[in-house]
Amino acid sequence: MREIVLDTETTGLDPLQGHRIIEIGCIELINKVKTGNVFHVYINPERDVPLVAYEIHGISTEFLTDKPKFEEVYEQFYNFIGDSVLVIHNAGFDMKFIRHHFDPHKVQILNVVIDTLELARKKFPGAKVNLDALCKKFKIDNSHRDKHGALLDAELLADVYIKMEGNTQAALEIANTTNQIQYTAMEIKRVNFTQRNFNIKSEEKQLHQEFMKKIKNPIW
């Protein structure tokens, strides 16, 4: 099964207030394995990047001035995701931007979407389930993540998703109070039964001998 782990960076929180996507990162999975096939693009939003957004992802207005506009890349993006399942952390946020950006091009995104935020909340009720917390829980190195980035976050989310879906027992963190599982070996006792003697009737013995004569080329 083909799945696309996806993340975006934006100029703000609401596309209806004029905010735009400025980065898209996608990681392809086939049967929960990363293939190395990725889609990554920076996008000129045709507006400024507010300071509050810049402090989160570090992508400046100046950096984006020579990048392609969304109408120049949307077909590549659309063809990459195809009809695959989309895997997104806090999917509602990214999907409202993606659908808003596709609307002017009369393109509908009808892909099935898996929200890993909701998955994590169900698996770990009451725990922190942001990307950093999940990386820590699954022992995924995210030390190079000093700021948000669509491709980097999609890579990390892919690793989290694979472990969260494929290693359920590890996610449950089954352990005792010292975080060590102690096993008690079962003692196996050998039982010696009393020897039994069986008497064969002469008629049965004769029938057996006659049957053995009918076997051609025996291996014994």
Catalytically active residues are 148
Nearest to 131 by CA among 97, 165, 154: 154
Burial of 113 by CB count in 10 Å (0-12 exposed, 13-18 middle, 19+ buried)?
middle
CA distances from 102 to 8, 20, 34, 97, 108 (A): 14, 12, 27, 9, 7
What CA–CA distance (Å, rounded) separates 154 from 4? 9
| Structure tokens given for 205 | 């013995």
Residue showing tokens 């989310």: 157
